[in-house]
Amino acid sequence: MKIAVCIKQVPTREWQPRIRDDKRWIRDEDVSYEMNEPDAYALEEALRLRETHGGEVVVCAAGPARVQQVLREALARGADRALHVEDDGPQAADARVTAGALAAAMRDEQFDLILTGLQSDDQGHAQTGVIVAERLGIPHSTIIMEVQVENPSTGSGQAARLRVKRELEGGWFQWLTMPLPALLTIQSGINQLRYATLKGIMAAKKKEIRKVPLPAGLAPSQEIVALALPSRTKQTQIIGGSPQEAARELVRRLREEARAL
């Protein structure tokens, strides 16, 4: 199975955002970066599928030269090779531009399966994967919690297909079957992450990162007009009823409203 994983480099969670004077972007001089969290789970899922069904895992990223840091990290964890759509220009590239660039870079590779994270930890539009699927003319499914391959190439004569578990609202799930090739957007927590070994880090130095130019004619459809830092607010809610009722209601609110559980 030939699998691509789209990986975005995002500012670390510990970084305190500072906004440029023109309010249109962050002050990125002192930012430290890391792999987008759901993308790390997407990579892990791809590595597990390769271990079970064979094939190769190719990681893809769009952005300036610094994004090679997350590609190297993915190669150290076990990916086979990487594609890098390199361009210093469009800091404010939206999901449409990014998806167009990634789809163009991946088109000729004919991947069986493309995995992205559910959304990025910084801009968080949760659109890039869906648009990549549209651009490549393949089916997609979002917020995936489990991936099974049915009829893998074991000589059964039937085409391999996916059985996937989607997360819905309010603690509900949905199982779907879908043909391959396909694209899935992966939810954090779907598996247990592995970390790079010293051997993996050494091996990654020799693995290929192929640079792909940004295709001409990709124009954003969104413009960042102004960024603002969230203000801290506090809200008190009194939950009435018996201790049992209050505890039940507290758990419900934490789960469904605060999404803390």
Ligand X SMILES: Cc1cc2nc3c(=O)[nH]c(=O)nc-3n(C[C@H](O)[C@H](O)[C@H](O)COP(=O)(O)OP(=O)(O)OC[C@H]3O[C@@H](n4cnc5c(N)ncnc54)[C@H](O)[C@@H]3O)c2cc1C
Cβ closest to ligand X, residue 146 vs residue 249? 146
> What single DSSP character describes residue 194?
P
Whole-number minimum distance, CB 59 to ligand X, in Å?
9
Near ligand X by CB under 6 A, which window of 1-9, 50-58, 151-159, 237-245?
1-9
Q: Applying CB under 6 A, which of residues 123, 149, 201, 203 lies at the interface with ligand X?
A: 123
20-79: contacts with ligand X (CB under 6 A) = 36, 38-39, 60-64
Least Å from the CB of residue 254 to ligand X: 25
In 74-223 the beta strands, taken as DSSP E runs, fall at 81-86, 113-117, 140-150, 161-167, 173-179, 182-186, 209-213
Q: 181: cis peptide before it, omega within 30°?
A: yes
**167-226: contacts with ligand X (CB under 6 A):** 214
DSSP string, 48-96: HHHHHH--EEEEEEEESGGGHHHHHHHHHHT--EEEEEE-SS-TT--HH
CB atoms within 10 A of CB 257: 9
Closest distance to ligand X from the beta carbon of 8 (Å): 4
In contact, 82 and 30? CB cutoff 8 Å: no
Shortest Cβ 80–ligand X spacing (Å) = 17
Classify residue 4 by burial, with Cβ atoms within 10 Å: 0-12, 13-18, 19+.
Answer: buried
- Which range in 125-133, 172-180, 203-211, 252-260 contacts ligand X by CB under 6 A? 125-133
Q: Which of 55, 71, 114, 116 binds ligand X (CB under 6 A)?
A: 116
Nearest CB to ligand X, comparing residues 1 and 93: 93
Do the Cβ atoms of 139 and 133 come closer than 8 Å? yes
Choosing from 2, 19, 81, 126, the residue that interacts with ligand X (CB under 6 A) is 126
Q: Give whichever of 101 and 162 is closer to ligand X, judged by the CB atom.
A: 101
Point out the residue whose Cβ comes nearest to ligand X.
117
- Residue 98 gets which letter from DSSP? H
- Closer residue to ligand X in complex, CB, 31/196: 31
- Return the structure tokens found at 173: 């799930």
**DSSP classification of residue 181:** S
| Residue 141 touches ligand X, criterion: CB under 6 A | no
Based on the shown chain and the rule CB under 6 A, indicate whether residue 119 belongs to the binding site for ligand X. Answer: yes
| Span from 119-127, 146-154, 227-235, 245-253 in contact with ligand X (CB under 6 A) | 119-127
Taking the least distance from each CB to ligand X, the nearer of 15 and 152 is: 15
Token digits for 35? 């792999």
Cβ-based neighbour number of residue 213 at 10 Å: 11
In sequence order, the 6+-apart residues with CB closer than 8 A to the CB of 125 are 94, 95, 119
Which positions touch ligand X (CB under 6 A)?
A: 6-8, 36, 38-39, 60-64, 85, 87, 90-91, 93-95, 97-98, 101-102, 116-117, 119-120, 122-129, 214
